[in-house]
């Protein structure tokens, strides 16, 4: 799980790359869930929250600039 402190240390470009990575992970988890291969469904929730954290930070930075 990503910590907000660690995310704040990243640049905006790094955050956007991390966001893309997490969205791909979310997509793969949804596919696994639909085919019945996913054992731990709580992972989807944590990835969704990490995406929200990144989006919040990006919005904060855009607002302040």
pLDDT in tens, 12-64: 999 999 999 999 999 999 999 999 999 999 999 999 999 999 999 999 999 99
pTM of the model as a whole: 0.93
Residue 1, pLDDT above cutoff 90 = no
9 three-class SS: coil
Helix 42-64 and helix 12-35, axial crossing angle in degrees, nearest 10: 160
SS (H, E, C) 38-51: CCCCHHHHHHHHHH
The confidence score (pLDDT) of residue 13 equals: 96
């Amino acid at each position: 799980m990503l910590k907000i402190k660690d995310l704040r240390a990243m640049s905006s470009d790094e955050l956007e790359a991390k966001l893309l990575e997490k969205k791909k992970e979310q997509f793969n988890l949804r596919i696994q869930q639909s085919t019945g291969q996913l054992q731990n469904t709580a992972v989807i929730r944590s990835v969704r929250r990490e995406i929200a954290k990144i989006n919040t930070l990006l919005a904060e930075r855009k607002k302040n600039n």
